[in-house]
Amino acid sequence: MPHFDAVTIGLLVAFATCQGLYFLTFLVEIYLFSRPVNWVRVSEARNIPEREYPNIVLFYPVLNELESTMRTTMLSISRMKYPSTLSRVIALPNWNDTATIAALRRLQGAFPFLEVEVVPPTTDPSWNVVWQAWDQNPKAYWWHEGAHAHQRDLPPKKTRQLIYGFYRSYGDAERANGVLVDYIDADSCPPPDHFLGAVAGMRHYDVLQAQNVAGNLNTSLAASWCALDHMAWDGGKYAHLSANGRHPYWVLGKGLFFRASDLLELGSLHPWMAIEDPEVGMRFWKNGKRLGIIESPLIEEVPVTFRRAITQRKRWVCGFFQSLGEPLDRLGFTPWEKFKAWMNFLPCMSLWINTVGLPTGAWGLWTFISGADILPLPLVGVCLFNVVAFTVTMSALYARTWLRTGLVLGSLRGRVAYMLRVNPLSVAIWWAVWLIPLAIGLWMYLRDRSRVWERTEKINANKVLIEQDFGGLAHQRAA
């Protein structure tokens, strides 16, 4: 090795640190993808008599939604194959959201299965069932300990609506017995066999999570990038969190099932989280509840502008930080369990490292191939590993993405157009943009700025897709 001055040595140290971090991110990837997937075989439901089907309630929390968006979702729900006597669909608007309440009342004329439960302010006496249940349940730890102990002024967002709807309908052991709970977002369009997946899956697992796919992935460049996040996480890596019950899992916040009795026992949902998904999943896991994955995806819409995309993702990031902080202590996670829980967030936190790790790693390989004696051989080996690992993981992602575009795009031209939009250079820019919601989400977490539901605006982007029953076709292709 030649002699280097102090500045060059400093640059080499920075280079080695960059490649070392990049190397660690791939070790996390390898670990996560090495975990087994507990798939639900929906076909098993065909051999189960209807008399053994469970009662299922689908909660539908909504806030300032377009009537057209909700109509598209109701159309999708109306096509689900399940006995009407065993299912309920309950919309949960806030009392002061008069426009959404009026829209839901109109939709009841076209979709008579739709029930509407208006969520009042927490000062209303009807909330007493919640306070009494939490008083008696130490597993509702946020009510008994911490900065928000015994605070009734719950943040006015989706989680609060779900808590109220759940306890109003299934707030005691007798009513909760034998009932499965599901909930979706305003734009979520479940496949026809969504409930049948619960029939089959609950015979083997305690919590079920359906995968998701974006239906409006070609609407804009922002939508294409957001849809790729779902291709990588919801449609790929996430399923490995099931892991035969050996890894702390999150849920995806829509299209999931659990027994009402289990949710009642664990104290329902944590109201002070920016998003409820990670914390409630890890609470189920810590209490021995195993996760099963339903492959038939819900179709959803993703943000079509960068402003909305960042708004959505900063909320996710804040919720991730919240869930991986105090709750892990309250739930009694061991240090090793905490480390594994953080592994769920590390891929999101480290997306931006690709934008510097790959080009610097390629440069390191080029210096070695060109004969320049600059880097020590072990560091060249790390560069080689990183470049090869990137190539393999991106090839797998693109292969999976190509297959999943077929779920929602009917033409070869549309699928090719999407793949061109998410080319490696384009995606590298998106990974760098992710630094913005990561920074804002961290700031929100540190400042406890997560009490308002900064909802992702929906524009009924999947109207044509669902009206043409392409949602049913997507299910058939997934099967």
Judge whether residue 476 has pLDDT over 80. Answer: no
Q: Report whether pLDDT(449) > 80.
A: no
pLDDT (average), residues 180-187: 97
Angle between helix 128-135 and 158-170 (nearest 10) = 80
DSSP 275-303: -SHHHHHHHHHHTTPPEEEEEEEEEE---
**pLDDT value of residue 467:** 85
pLDDT for 246 beyond 60 = yes
Q: How confident is the model at residue 470 (pLDDT cuts 50, 70, 90)?
A: low
pLDDT band at 194 (very low <50, low <70, confident <90, very high): very high
Residue 477: pLDDT over 80: no
367-402 per-position pLDDT tens digit: 999 988 788 999 999 999 999 999 999 999 999 999
Q: Is residue 281 a contact partner of residue 250, using CB atoms and an 8 Å limit? A: yes
User: How far from chain centre, in Å, is Cα 278?
Assistant: 8
pLDDT of residue 456: 74
**What's the rounded mean pLDDT across residues 242-254?**
97
Q: Domain 42-303+458-478 has what CATH class? A: alpha beta
Contact by Cβ (8 Å): 251, 282: no
Q: pLDDT tens for residues 414-434?
A: 999 999 999 999 999 999 999
Q: What is the pLDDT confidence band of residue 452, given thresholds at 50, 70 and 90?
A: low
Q: What is the pLDDT of residues 46-59, one digit of tens each?
A: 999 999 999 999 99
Please give the order of strands across the beta sheet that includes 256-259.
114-116, 87-92, 55-61, 179-183, 256-259, 207-214, 291-300
**Per-residue pLDDT tens over the stretch 108-164:** 999 999 999 999 999 999 999 999 999 999 999 999 999 999 999 999 889 999 999
The pLDDT of residue 310 is above 80: yes
Calculate the average pLDDT of the chain: 94
- Whether the per-residue pLDDT at 2 is higher than 70: the answer is no
What integer pLDDT is reported at residue 12 of this predicted model?
87
Task: Tell me what pLDDT residue 458 has.
Answer: 86
Domain ranges of the chain: 42-303+458-478
Tell me, rounded to whole angstroms, the distance of Cα 392 from its chain centroid.
24
Contacts (Cβ under 8 Å, ≥6 apart) of 101: 93, 116, 118
